[in-house]
Amino acid sequence: VIRAFVLSIVAAAFAAAPATAGPSFFVGLDDGSSTFVSKRAFVSDLNVGALRVPLTWQRGQEEPTAADLSAIDAVVTTHPDVRILLVANGLGDDAPTDAVARDEYCKFLRTVLLRFPTINDVVVWNEPNLSFFWKPQFHPDGTSAAPAAYLQLLGRCWDILHAFRPDVNV
């Protein structure tokens, strides 16, 4: 009985189809900065399909700085065949938790997309489950505050970015 069981498992292993990645699967890099310009050969040699490009956002900011735009431009022009994933976030106290800040933040992202039509992937904020990136995490009564506030930000950015470019990935 044991021998028959083992043989059936071996036969099933040989009959199983090989695992393959779907056409939308890609491998990307993130080094926490926009320094991929100096790594062109590295990115090319590894056949990297995407680069995550970070931006820092602060309350009241509706447009990226000239330095940010220059850094993004350098990455986009150095790696024209690589998918760029834009992520903009800040520190916990700057989390866009009210309507005005949400609009500023989402318009900030739209400005980058307007300037760089080849960027079509946007990561909205970063780790809103950590107080380093998102405050407040809790209401005064101890109930969780961050998930609902982050959901409002996602919804607002979805609306603003899709009104501008319907096929953007948020």
Q: Determine which of 20-29, 50-59, 112-121 has the lowest per-residue pLDDT on average.
A: 20-29
Task: Quickly state the pLDDT bin for 49 (edges 50, 70, 90).
Answer: confident
CB 86 within 8 Å of CB 117? no
Count Cβ atoms within 10 A of the Cβ of residue 100 and give its class: 0-12 exposed, 13-18 middle, 19 or more buried. Answer: exposed
Length of the chain, in residues: 170
Q: Determine which of 38-42, 51-55, 161-165 has the lowest per-residue pLDDT on average.
A: 38-42
The order of strands in the sheet holding 121-124 is: 28-29, 50-56, 83-89, 121-124
Q: How does DSSP assign 104-130, residue by residue?
A: HHHHHHHHHHHH-TT--EEEESS-TTS
Task: Quickly state the pLDDT bin for 99 (edges 50, 70, 90).
Answer: very high
